[in-house]
Amino acid sequence: MKRLIELDILRGVLLLMMVVNHSPSPLRRLTDQPLGFFSTAEGFVFVSAFLAGMLFQSRSDRLGFEAARSATVSRTLRIYRMHLFTVLFAFCLGGFFLAQLPGLHNILDPFLKNPRTATYASLALIFQPPLMDILPMYILFSLLTPLAFWAARRWGWKNVFLGSVSLWLLSQFRVRDLLMSTAKDFHFVNLGPFDLLSWQLLWIGGLIFGRSLHEKKPVLRLTVWWEVLLLILGIGFLVARWITIYINVDPSKEFWFLEKWHLGPLRVLNFFVVAWFVSKLLPVANRWATTLRPLSLVGQNLLPVFASQICLSLIILGLLDTGEGAALLSTGLVLCQLATVFLTAWFFDWRTRSRINLRAARSPLPAAF
Domain ranges of the chain: 5-355
Over residues 196-231, the pLDDT tens digits come to: 999 999 999 999 999 998 888 888 888 899 999 999
Q: Which residue has the higher pLDDT, 1 or 137?
A: 137
Over residues 136-172, the pLDDT tens digits come to: 999 999 999 999 999 999 999 999 999 999 999 999 9
CA angle at residue 54 from 53 to 55, to 5 degrees?
95
Spatial CA neighbour of 314 closest among 337, 285, 348: 337
Write down the pLDDT at residue 352. 87
Range 172-177 contact pairs with CB under 8 angstroms and sequence separation of 24 or more:
172/198, 172/256, 172/262, 172/264, 172/265, 174/262, 176/262
Write down the pLDDT at residue 1. 65
Write down the pLDDT at residue 72. 96
219 Cβ contact partners less than 8 Å away, ≥ 6 residues apart:
208, 209, 212
Please list the residues that pair with 323 across neighbouring strands: none
Residue 187 three-state SS: coil
Over residues 84-142, the pLDDT tens digits come to: 999 999 988 887 887 678 778 878 888 888 888 888 999 999 988 888 899 999 999 99
Q: Which residue has the higher pLDDT, 365 or 212?
A: 212
pLDDT-based confidence at residue 369 (cuts at 50, 70, 90) = very low
- Number of helical (H) and strand (E) elements in the chain, helices listed first: 16, 0
> What is the pTM for the complete model shown?
0.92
Write down the pLDDT at residue 329. 85
